[in-house]
Structure 1
Amino acid sequence: MNRMLSIGVCALLLTASLTGCADMNKRQRNTAIGAAVGGVAGSVLTGGSTVGTVGGAVVGGVIGSQGDSGKKK
């Protein structure tokens, strides 16, 4: 039950973060999406651990912010 609650809360946070991305540039949007997805993944992989959720969010945010590094100049 605790795991399902954690997944539900993370999904709700993901939805809320995506709706707040309207005036962000592409890198900021990618960072927010990466952090949300990473947080959900970290929570699922560690069984709802706070450290796993926060660690996943940090790693996802870093990956998301660097995801557009090959853009055309």
Structure 2
Amino acid sequence: MSQQGKNTAIGAGVGAVGGAVLTGGSALGTVGGAAVGGVVGHEVSK
């Protein structure tokens, strides 16, 4: 896996946890956090 792929995966994981915590375990918050975190992780790698 490329460094960019790793950063995307890490960002998605951190975002999912953050989204779940901020929304009290909401599935939508978890998925939304993962999506945002994945994008951030992907962009940081450029």
User: Which one has the largest radius of gyration?
Assistant: 1
Note whether the superposition's TM-score is higher than 0.5: yes
- The CA distance in 2 between the partners of 1:54 and 1:68, in whole Å, is 21
Q: 1:56 aligns with which of 25, 29, 33?
A: 33
TM-score by length of 1: 0.62
User: Structure 1: which 5+ residue stretches go unaligned?
Assistant: 1-23
Higher helix content, 1 or 2: 2
Residue 41 of structure 1 and its aligned partner are, at CA, apart by 0.1
CA distance in 1, matches of 2:3, 2:20: 26
TM-score (norm 2): 0.97
RMSD, aligned CA = 0.5
Instruction: Structure 2 unaligned segments of length 5 or more: list them.
Output: none
Deviating beyond 2 angstroms after TM superposition, the runs of 4 or more aligned structure 1 residues are none
Overall identity of the aligned pairs, in %: 61
Number of corresponding residues:
46
